[in-house]
Amino acid sequence: MSTIIETRLPDNRNANLSLEKILKPIYRFFVCIFNSLVEARRLQAAYETARHLTTHNKDFKQMSHSEIVQWILNKDNK
């Protein structure tokens, strides 16, 4: 003997699903990915610049690699 369970949807469902509600989270997701890629490229450029400065410029030989990177990144923010 099997029991049949009947499910019903409520009669007062709201069908207020808009295109904006669907696309806004997707847009924010791709914006976050883009911002992450831009920040990663910025950090990579700072590392490469610091490496070049420490190997080719006598003025920067006394500074550590991470100090130069932080100096470059802080200078870009101002």
- Per the structure, how many domains does the chain have? 1
Task: Classify residue 39: in a domain, yes or no.
Answer: yes
Task: Classify residue 2: in a domain, yes or no.
Answer: no
**Inter-CA distances, 64 with 7, 42, 46, 68, 76, Å:** 68, 19, 13, 6, 19
pLDDT exceeds cutoff 60 at 63: yes
Average pLDDT over residues 57-64: 90
CB neighbour class for 71 (10 Å; exposed up to 12, middle 13-18, buried from 19): middle
Task: Classify residue 33: in a domain, yes or no.
Answer: yes
Q: Which residue has the higher pLDDT, 6 or 24?
A: 24
Instruction: Indicate the pTM of the whole model.
Output: 0.65
Q: How confident is residue 13, by pLDDT bands cut at 50, 70 and 90?
A: low
Task: Classify residue 57: in a domain, yes or no.
Answer: yes
pLDDT exceeds cutoff 80 at 67: yes
Task: Classify residue 14: in a domain, yes or no.
Answer: no
* Chain center to CA of 34: 6
What mean pLDDT, rounded, does the chain reach? 85
Task: Classify residue 32: in a domain, yes or no.
Answer: yes
Domain range spanning residue 28? 19-77
